[in-house]
Chain A
Amino acid sequence: MTSQAHHQPAMAATAPPHSSMPSIGSLVRRPEVGSLIGMIAVLVFFSIFGGSNFLSAGGSASWLNVASELGIIALPVGLLMIAGHLDLSIGSMIPASSMTIAILSGHYGLPIIVGILAALGLGLAVGFINGVLVIRTKVPSFVVTLATLFALAGLTLGLSVILSGSTSVALKSGPTAKLLFGDYLGGKFQVTLFWWIAIILIVGFILNFSRFGNWILAMGGDAVSARNAGIPTDRVTIALFMSSGLCAAFVGMSQAILYNSAQVAAGQSFIFNSIIAVVIGGVLLTGGYGSVVGIVLGTLTFSIVNQGIFYTGFDANWASLIIGVLLLAAVLMNNTFRTMALTYAPRTRQRVR
C-alpha cells in the first residue's frame, strides 16, 4: 500500500542522478512510522506477558476480529479526518442498522436481502444528511454529527419500541447471509476480516492512486484554497460522510447476523475507539495528513491492547490506562516524525555550485 513500493526518482532533465532505493531518510518521512513503532511495541509487550496463547490462532483471532470491525469503520472515519471532518454519528448508526435488519427480516420476517439493503441504505441516507448539514450550515462536523448521534439514537429507540415492542430483537438468517457476513472461519476468524481487507484495498487505492485522494488531502490542508483550485469540495464532503455511514451500517448489519439479534444500545464505544485508532495511526486530527497503512496499524495496535490484556495476568481494567498512555505517546511520536518530514534535505548532496 505504501507508495514507496512504486517509488521512482523524478528524472527531470536538469535533475542530478540519484539512487532509486528508498533511503532510511525517506522512510522516516512517512506518516505511518510512528504507528509502526507503536504496534511493534505493543505486539512485543503482549507476546512476552501474554504467553504463547496470545500468538496462537485463537489468540490472534480474538484481536483480529476486534480489529476487523473497528477497522471497517476507522478507514472511512480516517479519510474524513484527513479531509478535516469528524463523524461521531457512527455510534448510533451501528445499532440503527442492526435494528433495521432485525426488525425488517426478524420481526416482520421479510427476506434477509431486504433487511441488508435497508440497513445499508439507512447508512447512506444518514451520511448524506450529515454531509448536507455540514456544508449548508457551516457548523463544525463535530457538532453536527454529535446532534445526529443523539437524534438517531432516540429515533432507533423510539421506533424499535413502537414497531417491535422491545429494545432487543432476534434475527434468524439463512446460510448464505451467515457465510457472507456473520460466520467464523475455522471456528475462530470472523468473515468481516475479509471485508476489512477489501475495504483497506479500496480506501488505499482512493487515497494514494486516485485524483479523489488528492482532493481529500487538499481539503484537509486548506478548504478555501482547495475550492479555489476547482475541487468540488461539497460533493467530496457528502461522499465521505456517506462512506462512513455506509461502513458503520455494514458493521451493525453484520453484527446482527453474527449474533442473531440486535440491541438498541450497542456501538457507542466505536465513536472514540475509531478516533483513537485513526489518531494512533498518524492522521492529523485537524486534517491534511495521514495514510491508510497508518490507520490499519493504529487499528491493530488498539485491538492488540484491548484484547491482549486478557492473555496477561493483569486485571483487564488496566487496558484503558494503557490505551490512554499509548494514545498520548503515539501522538507525540507522530508529531516528531511529522516534523522530520517537514525538513527538506535534497536526496543527493549538493555539489559545488
Chain B
Amino acid sequence: MTTPLLKLTAINKSFGPIDVLHDISLEVNAGEVLCLLGDNGAGKSTLIKILSGVHKPTSGTMEMDGKAVEFASPRDASDHGIATVHQFGGTFALMSIGRSFFVGAEPTRRWGPLTIYDRKRANEIAVTEMRQLGITRIDDGDRLVGGLSGGERQALAIARAVHFGASVLILDEPTAALGVKEAAHVLRIVLQARRKGIAVIFITHNVVHALTVGDHFAVLIRGSKAADFRKGEKSREAITDLMAGGEQMAELEAEIESFSATQ
C-alpha cells in the first residue's frame, strides 16, 4: 500500500460552541476519485474549506505525501498543489478566457524596456488546455468567460488547475447546476483528470453522478463520517438511504404515500 496523497486524521472543527465536523479521517490516493456525499448542512463545505486553506481545523492533522501540513491561507494550500473549483467555476464572468485562466500568474514578455502581459500566449494556452478537455467549441481566448455554458466554465476551471500542476483537485458540486448532457461532459473531464494521476475529491449529493466516476466514497451526516466504502460495495439505494439518514427517508416515503392515498 502506497502512502496516500492526502490524509486527514481525526479532524474536528467547531465555530464557537457549534461543532461542525466531528472526528473526520479520510485518505485520498493519486489517480483516484473520492466522492464526498452528504445532504445539505452535513459539513461538506466546511471540510472543503479546511482542505483549501480557508479554515483551520480545531484539532486533527493533515498530511500530504506522508508529511504533516498546515495551510495558512488558500494561497498556501494551492502552493501545496490543492486546487478548488467551485460550483460556478471561474467567477470572473466579465474577463476574457485567457485573462481569467492566468489570474495571478499572468505570462509576460519583453516589449522594449517594458515587461508586458503576453495576451497571445495566455489565450493560446487557455484555448489549447480547454480543447484537451474536449471543449472544442472554444477557439478565441479573447471572449468573455460569462459567454460560456456552466459545463464549459467548469472545464475552464479544471483546465486551469491541471495546467498549474494541481495534485489534488477539489470539485465542489460541479454538476449541481448543469443539465444532463453538460453534467456528463464534466464527469468525463473528471475521469480525464484522474487518468493524469490527479487525486480528485468530488463533492456532490447526486448519487448517480458519484457512482459514475467514484472509486471511493465517504458519506457525511451531521458532521460525522457515517460510511466509508469502495466502489461496488454498496448499492445506489443503500447510499441514498444513508445520505438522507436512512430511517427518516423511509418515514418520509411512507408519509408521501399516505398523503397521495387521501387525494
Contact = CB atoms under 8 A, between A and B. Distances in A.
A222 interface: yes
B167 interface: no
Nearest to B107: A211
Contacts of B120: 8, 10
B92 A222 contact: yes
A126 B181 CA distance: 54
A347 interface: yes
B26 to A, nearest CB: 22
A14 B125 CA distance: 11
B123 interface: yes
Contacts of B148: 344
B93 A218 contact: no
B75 interface: yes
B221 to A, nearest CB: 29
A216 to B, nearest CB: 11
Contact of A346 (B95, B103, B140, B141): B140
Interface in A301-330: none
Interface residue tally of chain B, by bracket? 35 or more
Given A218-B92, A222-B92, A288-B92, A12 B131 contact: yes
B91 A222 contact: yes
B119 to A, nearest CB: 7
A348 B139 contact: yes
Contact of B127 (A10, A29, A210, A342): A10
Nearest to B126: A10
Interface residue tally of chain A, by bracket? 35 or more
A316 B233 CA distance: 81
Given A218-B100, A288-B95, A343 B147 contact: yes
Nearest to A15: B139
B105 A13 contact: no
B50 to A, nearest CB: 15
Nearest to A221: B92
B209 interface: no
A215 B93 CA distance: 14
A18 interface: yes
B245 interface: no
A213 B148 CA distance: 23
Nearest to A26: B142
Interface in A1-28: 3, 6-16, 18, 26
Interface in A218-245: 218, 221-222, 225-231
Given A15-B127, A350-B137, A217 B92 contact: yes
A341 interface: yes
Contacts of A353: 136
A252 B156 CA distance: 47
Nearest to B148: A344
B106 A214 contact: yes
A6 B92 contact: no
Given A12-B127, A12-B131, A344-B143, A211 B92 contact: no
Nearest to A12: B128
Nearest to B79: A230
Task: Across the A-B interface, give the 8 residue pairs with the lowest CB-CB distance, nearest first.
Answer: A344-B147, A229-B104, A221-B92, A289-B94, A228-B74, A230-B104, A12-B128, A222-B91
7 contacts: A12-B124, A210-B117, A217-B95, A217-B99, A218-B99, A222-B92, A342-B94
Interface of A: 3, 6-16, 18, 26, 29, 205, 208-211, 213-215, 217-218, 221-222, 225-231, 284, 288-289, 338, 341-344, 346-348, 350, 353
Given A209-B114, A217-B99, A348-B139, 20 more contacts: A8-B120, A10-B140, A10-B141, A14-B128, A14-B136, A208-B117, A209-B111, A210-B115, A214-B103, A217-B92, A217-B95, A218-B103, A221-B93, A222-B91, A229-B104, A231-B104, A342-B94, A344-B138, A346-B139, A347-B139
